[in-house]
Amino acid sequence: MKLGAAQTPTASTPVIPVLEGRELTKSFWVKQGRGLLAGKARVHAVESVSIRLDPGRVTALVGESGAGKTTVGRLLAKIIKPDGGEVLLDGRPAPPGRPRAYAAQVQMVFQDPFASLNPVHRVRHHLVRPLQIHHMASGDLEAAVDELLRRVALKPPAHFAAKFPHELSGGQRQRVAIARGLAVRPRVLIADEPVSMLDVSIRLGVLNLLADLRDRENLAILYVTHDIASARYLADTIMVMYAGQLVEAAPSVSLTDRPAHPYTQLLLAAAPDPDRAERPALAAHGAPPSLLAPPSGCRFHPRCPYVMEICKRQVPPSVAVASDHSAACWLHVDPNERRVNETGLPATTTARDLLDQRN
Amino acid sequence: MRALLRRLGVYLLAAWVALTVSFLLPRVVPGNPVAGAVARASQSGNCNSQCVEAIEAQLGFNVHTSLWDQYVQYWGNLGHGNLGQSWSENASVSSLIISYLPWTLGLLLIATAVSFIAGTAVGVLMAWRRGSWLDWVLPVATFFSALPYFFLALVLVLILGKTGTMLKVFPSLFGYDIYGVTPGLNGPYIASIIGHAILPAVTVVLASTAGFILAMRNNMITTMDEDFVLVAQAKGLPARRVIWYAARNALLPVIANFTVAISLVVAGQILVEIVFNYPGIGFHLYDALGKLDYSLVQGIFVVITLVVLAANLLADVVYVLIDPRARQMA
Amino acid sequence: MTINSTSLAGIPPVAGPTAELVLRPTRVLRLPRSPKVIAGLVILGVFGVLAIIGRWIAPYSPNATDQQNWVRHVLVPGTGAGTGFPASYYPLPLPPSAAHWLGTTVFAQDVSSQLLAATQATMFVGLLAAAIATVLSVLFGVTAGYLGGGTDEGLSLVANVFLAIPGLPLLIVLADYMPSAGSSVLLVAAIIAVTTWAYTSRTLRAQTLSLRNRDFVEAARVSGESRVRIILVEVLPNLIPIVAASFLFTALSAMGAYVAIAFLGLAGSPTSSPPGLWNWGEMLREGFANNAVRGGWWWWWAPPGICIALLGTGLALLNFGIDEFINPRLRAAGLSRRTAKKAGISLRSTLGMTPVAHRRAVAIMPQVTAMRPEPSSVRNAAEPVLTIRGLSVDYGYGDQAVHAVVDCDLVLRRGKVLGLAGESGSGKTTLALAAIRLLRAPAVITGGEVLFHSKPISGEEPAGTIDMLSATEEQLRAIRWSEIAVVLQSSLNALNPVITIGAQFDDLLRGLARAGEVLGMVGMNAERLRSHAHELSGGMRQRAMIAMAIALEPQVMILDEPTTALDVVTQREILEELIGLRDRIGFATLFITHDLSLLVELADEIAVMYAGRLMERAPATSLFHAPRLPYTYGLLHCFPPLHGARLAMEGLKGSPPDLRDLPSGCAFHPRCAWAMPRCHQDVPTLAPLDGSAREVACWLHRGEANVPAELARPDPLPSGSGRSGSIARVGEP
């Protein structure tokens, strides 16, 4: 399945993405149970996910917990090694391991700013270390720290540099964490749920900061989130993941306005929306499958209201439903081209029907 | 079951390490201290030449087979329950230990059971009645937990023991009245055993209860802050039931740490037996050390290790039984 | 003792990050303020000083003997003049005197001098052994924890094996086979260390393992930090309290072990060759071996024992301090009553009942007052079931008190959903739990009243109003769950982990048939009654919780962030079920959440809290389309819409305030775009606006200033009835 990377680049995006993941696959061995009593089981966390990050653009990776979105972020940051697929930096395969040169290009911001800053060190330490490691600003460290804090709108910088993390509010901590990511002047920032642990009233501030960095510094940003509304607000492109697979990718507005995949529709229907006149009726129920033994074919098929026989057998291909909008769903494949002939089910359902049904 | 088997593996490995250490030490320590012991043993009247040979074989002195062959033989002997010959008692070590063991195990079981139950109960009470007079138990328990067992034993002998100088209530020497009663299934003998066990048992209970109290109190306080306790209160359950819910959960870490606790109690009891001349393996370990009866020392060490490991395994089984999360894996 | 930030751990975390151990460097300095720690430090200090200067203040050498003057000579009976035998004497030790503060031994030695020498040796060996063991355990534990995988398995196995082998017997065997050990302090310490390191190693491993998975370690790795530096600079400093606690614990057990093997005569006696050191265990051994107990010579054997116990107590007390520092819950324990008394509040605190202080008119108000029968026409669908008036809650007592909820009024009506919105620390959970008196120490209800209006259950039982704040424990218990049920945010923690779901229904219902039926109402199979909490998914656990909550068909349901921890689809499903159940059972709902956008869809009426106060209360549609409060307005603009053009949104500037350090006047004024001078000084109170349907606490609406256009939109519900169908996005042209 190719999604995102396979789509035709729009006019505004350059041909070579700054960072690209191709067919990334990763499974984990997890302990079941606790301590010495544990056994092991294999979790198929990410299955053949392709994704591209372009300079000056925010790509959002949206999904429920366990969908594998964080794993994709970590694969791209090379914190973990993929079992299959490759990571390309500027179109060239990134060197194995995680050399410092790669760290200088791709940085990460973590979900919990209460956990991502070391409680025993001052803010200055968190910013000075990356500068020292990467021999940036060898001349005037203090000035470099000041400038970093200014870039994330923590003023006066000297005041914040001397603080311990616990003396800062959640939003300020997350800004420090972003400043740390920016210290090495990376071209890619991977932000893993950067606002989900923050108070509602300060989330927008952090999202706006990311948007600002994208516009001013031409950063390529991967915004990993479970909140599709915030993805729509911040991101240029949204990619939706379900149970380790990409199911849909499109520019954010067209994805949220015209979702093509039944799962994306479900997500949107379930999301809180005060503008809605009536409470939504969910078309599908249940929970994402266990990734220890994912369902065959399309992983969404056990919950899909439009399930067909072929969905149970074959992984759906990525189909272009519009010029820059792709979905991995059999409904969008021409019924004549669905190679497995399913019986007893309406083979004539098309994407059009699906959308009509929704609207 | 897998989990328990795994724990069993750890204990088997621990037993192997302990037994190997006790095999290797006399053989590899520079200057071979065993030589002196063997010499002294052969000079004393109790040990004839056969006995000397047995000790030499046991400790690898004057033995000219390779270390590996000795090791194989050592395990062979252990497999047959043959722990060697005690020269001071002129009997086989295993038969001696079998005669000592009931004293120790009886005392250990009763004392540990009492202190575990009492300590846990007091710990639960302290967490329940926070801010009451029970808070004074805390510093007192701390003091008692810091007291060495044998010192506490000495104090009890002084105050309560018939060999002490103050109240002279309880017998404080030997396992029974060796002059007044005849061993066997008779009333006076059993009464005497019980009477003689009181002070040693009280010592072990007093010294070890404090540890259980503190552990249980801390766990209870942490558990009482859990949401499920809040829900139990929100359900309008009587306080006793709420406490029972919390206590059952708070007990889990205490049982998980039983390993450490039982080692401490066993160590303490060894010293207590010495103070009271109580005829268990602790006292005879001391006795054998004084008589330089190395084979007996080694044999007792092996048995104590096995007893402790068995207690650990028992604690693991209990843990698995009361924690469904562990049970699922086990 | 102060109630500082750590005592506030009692405030239930709301929406925000979970409260976790955060090592605060500034708090390290505060450690010695606990009386336990001070006592421990004093004891340790005294022994430390004695150990150092003991040699110089000791009146004699520990080995010095004076057979003539330092013992009393007693004639052996049957010898001496007139018996025909030459006079023979046996020595008796001397009791304490000016010359010998602690008397003498039977060998005519000065006990105090021995004790001082022994103090030095015992402490030295104990600390040395603890140091070696700590180094060992840090090396093993931190390496295993940080590297994980095979290294971890191997090292943990080693530690577990050492842990399983009983320490003292091993020590005895080791010391026994190494007679030279007696003379070598280092060897004794090393042997003790080998038998005591494993326990702390296991603790450190577990701690390192959890630290390794913390994001700051990951972040250091991402920024290219080297492994060694990560361990030394990022991980180790966070382990300091635990290493310190381990060190003290090991020092205590090392001293115990040293004294024990010395008592057994295995640590080398000062008279043997080569000579060992004087230590407390050796003194006890000599005393015991020479019948000091039977002889009543307590001054000989008691002092070393008391010293061990005292020093041990000192170390243990210090360890308590560190434990309380690591786990603040332990400190809060037992503190309440004393601090409260000091602050002039007398608390009759019962388990599971938040104490009420400064109650007005408790004596006068009868606890149950029969409600006047009302004409049925008055008793409409929106009859109140829970009335909260002027409720105030503090955490802590006296000067240290943090005012978490101040003067809040709420009315829950039958069959209606009242949404309580606010950010973390706004007091929304505190308010709800205080109403049913479920808050734990150090929470105190400092004012107000909470009235529960029970409906007539059958013809016989009279409808009644119960004042929750003066109700007895029995009355409260009778109301709890059967009339007022609670669903908490974290369903994993809310279910008892060691008993089955079915057993938890047993508390409420007789017979599992009904329990299965109730489970069915939330879309769960009755089979699940046999499951334990850990076998269910997050959504299933929350469903089970809800099933339990509706089992007794309560009149009030308090839902504290019931879906925050869940995915959106599950959240939606559970909300659908809740609404369905509400329609079926007809309970009044208090729905607490930080997600205002969710509330707008769900609630009939919404109350917004900020910094412990209710700031706005209005029908949901009114609040959404025509907010009157600047904070509500700002908060509504923090949720990006799912439709329409993408526009830049500003949200709110600044951060939610710290309850311990609130701004003067209106707590929101530093973040308010329309703040006036008065807002800096005076606290606004809730006052009705636009008729009685809504209330706002804001000076802008008191006729003192022109109300900004944003806060003066026409209310879509001037009559305050029913939900409007007209939907227009606020804040957008």
Domain membership of residue A161 (yes or no) is no
> Which residues on A lie below 8 Å from B325 (Cβ)?
33-34
Q: Nearest by CB to A36, which of B3, B325, B328?
A: B3
For residue B1, the chain A residue with the least C-alpha distance is A37
Task: Report the gap between the CA of B104 and the closest CA in chain C (Å).
Answer: 14
Average pLDDT over residues C404-431: 92
Domains: count for chain A: 1
pLDDT score at B110: 92
C78 Cβ partners below 8 Å, 6+ apart?
C85
Largest CA distance in chain A: 74
pLDDT score at C730: 40
Closest C-alpha among C384, C469, C377, C467 to residue C418: C384
Task: Report the gap between the CA of A39 and the closest CA in chain B (Å).
Answer: 7
Domain membership of residue A213 (yes or no) is yes
Task: Report the gap between the CA of B326 and the closest CA in chain A (Å).
Answer: 7
- Give me the residue label for tokens 């923090």: C638
The top-scoring range by mean pLDDT among B182-191, C449-458, C479-488 is C479-488
Q: Nearest by CB to A103, which of C224, C571, C601?
A: C224
Amino acid at B76: G
Residue ranges and CATH numbers for the domains of chain C are 57-61+108-326 (1.10.3720.10), 615-641+648-724 (no CATH)
For residue C479, the chain B residue with the least C-alpha distance is B236
Q: How many CB pairs under 8 A join B and C?
A: 249
Strand partners, A58: A221
Helix, strand, coil percentages in chain B from 3-state DSSP, rounded to 5: 75, 0, 20
CA C101 to chain centroid, in Å, comes to: 47
For residue B59, the chain C residue with the least C-alpha distance is C177
Average pLDDT over residues C179-197: 76
* ipTM, two decimals: 0.88
B296 Cβ partners below 8 Å, 6+ apart?
B86, B88, B89, B93, B96, B284, B285, B288
Question: Rounded to the nearest 10 degrees, how much is the dihedral formed by the CA atoms of C621, C627, C633, C637?
Answer: 30
Q: How confident is the model at residue C28 (pLDDT cuts 50, 70, 90)?
A: very low
State pLDDT tens for residues C305-350.
889 889 988 988 888 888 877 776 776 655 556 666 666 665 555 6
pLDDT at A343 over 60: no
Q: C267 versus C521: which is more confidently predicted?
A: C521
CB B311 within 8 Å of CB B262:
yes
Domain membership of residue A92 (yes or no) is yes
* Burial per residue of C50-63, b for 16 or more beta-carbon CB atoms within 10 angstroms, e otherwise: bbeebeeebebebe
CB A4 within 8 Å of CB A50:
yes
Query: In Å, how far are A38, A64, B47, B327 from B317, measured between CA atoms?
Result: 16, 39, 45, 9
Percent over 90 (pLDDT), chain A: 50
pLDDT score at C369: 39
Domain membership of residue A55 (yes or no) is yes
B289 Cβ partners below 8 Å, 6+ apart?
B297, C172, C176, C264, C265, C266
pLDDT at C370 over 60: no
* A36 close to B (CB below 8 A): yes
Say if the Cβ atoms of B275 and C288 lie within 8 Å.
Answer: yes
Say if the Cβ atoms of C727 and A276 lie within 8 Å.
Answer: yes
- State the Cα–Cα distance between residues C19 and C307, nearest whole angstrom: 41
State pLDDT tens for residues C214-243.
889 988 888 888 888 999 999 998 888 889
Dump the DSSP string for C388-449: EEEEEEEESSGGG-EEEEEEEEEEEETT-EEEEE--TTSSHHHHHHHHTT-PPTTEEEEEEE
Amino acid at C123: M
Q: B46 versus C715: which is more confidently predicted?
A: C715
Task: Report the gap between the CA of C633 and the closest CA in chain B (Å).
Answer: 34
Average pLDDT over residues A351-358: 48
Helical segments of C13-166, H only: 25-28, 35-57, 111-147, 149-164
User: Per the structure block, which two tokens stand in for B241?
Assistant: 């039931």
> Which residues on A lie below 8 Å from C725 (Cβ)?
277
* B217 close to A (CB below 8 A): no
pLDDT score at C129: 92
Strand partners, A109: A191
Q: Which of A166-170, C126-130, C417-421 has the lowest mean pLDDT?
A: A166-170
Percent over 70 (pLDDT), chain A: 86
CB B142 within 8 Å of CB C320:
yes
Q: Which of A31-40, A131-140, A275-284, C646-655 has the lowest mean pLDDT?
A: A31-40
Query: In Å, how far are A69, B195, B198, C294, C379 from B161, measured between CA atoms?
Result: 72, 11, 10, 10, 78
Percent over 90 (pLDDT), chain C: 22
Say if the Cβ atoms of A282 and C569 lie within 8 Å.
Answer: yes
CB A120 within 8 Å of CB C23:
yes
Average pLDDT over residues A323-333: 92
CB A60 within 8 Å of CB A237:
yes
- State the Cα–Cα distance between residues B89 and B299, nearest whole angstrom: 13
For residue C549, the chain B residue with the least C-alpha distance is B235
State pLDDT tens for residues A265-285.
999 999 988 887 777 778 777
* B291 close to A (CB below 8 A): no
**C 524-563 residues with CB < 8 A to B:** 532, 534-535, 545, 548
Amino acid at C192: I
Average pLDDT over residues C74-101: 81
CATH of the domain at A50: 3.40.50.300
CB B311 within 8 Å of CB B258:
yes
Say if the Cβ atoms of A79 and C634 lie within 8 Å.
Answer: no
CB A215 within 8 Å of CB A35:
no
- The one-digit pLDDT tens for each residue of chain B (330 residues) are 667 888 888 889 988 988 888 888 777 766 556 666 666 666 666 666 766 777 677 776 667 778 888 888 888 888 888 887 777 777 888 899 999 999 999 999 999 999 999 999 999 998 887 767 777 888 888 888 888 888 888 888 888 887 777 777 788 788 887 777 777 778 888 888 888 888 899 999 988 898 899 889 989 988 988 899 999 999 989 888 999 999 999 999 888 888 778 888 888 888 899 888 899 999 998 888 777 777 888 888 888 888 888 888 888 888 888 888 777 654
The top-scoring range by mean pLDDT among B168-177, B198-207, C76-85, C701-710 is B198-207
Say if the Cβ atoms of A273 and C641 lie within 8 Å.
Answer: yes
User: Per the structure block, which two tokens stand in for C185?
Assistant: 């302090």
Domain membership of residue A168 (yes or no) is no
Q: How confident is the model at residue C418 (pLDDT cuts 50, 70, 90)?
A: very high
* B263 close to C (CB below 8 A): yes
C157 Cβ partners below 8 Å, 6+ apart?
B10, B13
pLDDT score at C523: 86
Say if the Cβ atoms of B330 and A39 lie within 8 Å.
Answer: no
pLDDT score at C381: 46
Task: Report the gap between the CA of C142 and the closest CA in chain B (Å).
Answer: 20
Say if the Cβ atoms of C337 and B232 lie within 8 Å.
Answer: no
For residue C623, the chain A residue with the least C-alpha distance is A274
Q: A42 versus C175: which is more confidently predicted?
A: A42
- φ, ψ of residue C437 in degrees (nearest 5): 55, 45
Q: Are strands A318-322 and A245-251 parallel, antiparallel or unpaired?
A: unpaired
- State the Cα–Cα distance between residues B73 and C196, nearest whole angstrom: 31
- State the Cα–Cα distance between residues B167 and A79, nearest whole angstrom: 72
Domain membership of residue A40 (yes or no) is yes
> Which residues on C lie below 8 Å from B11 (Cβ)?
164
**In degrees, to the nearest 5, what angle opens at C-alpha C662 toward C-alphas C661 and C663?**
120
Q: How confident is the model at residue C20 (pLDDT cuts 50, 70, 90)?
A: very low
Say if the Cβ atoms of A33 and B325 lie within 8 Å.
Answer: yes
pLDDT at A35 over 50: no
Say if the Cβ atoms of A103 and C222 lie within 8 Å.
Answer: yes
Enclosing domain of residue A52: 5-105+186-271+286-296
DSSP helix/strand/coil, C93: strand
pLDDT score at A219: 94
Domain membership of residue A304 (yes or no) is no
pLDDT at A345 over 50: no
* A14 close to B (CB below 8 A): no
Dump the DSSP string for C248-313: HHHHHHHHHHHHHHHHTT-S--TTSSS-----HHHHHHHHHHTTTTTTT-HHHHHHHHHHHHHHHH
> C711: which DSSP letter?
G
Q: Nearest by CB to A79, which of C221, C569, C597?
A: C221
Average pLDDT over residues A202-214: 92
> Which residues on A lie below 8 Å from B10 (Cβ)?
36
Is pTM beyond 0.90? Reply is: no
Say if the Cβ atoms of C23 and A119 lie within 8 Å.
Answer: yes
Average pLDDT over residues C174-193: 74
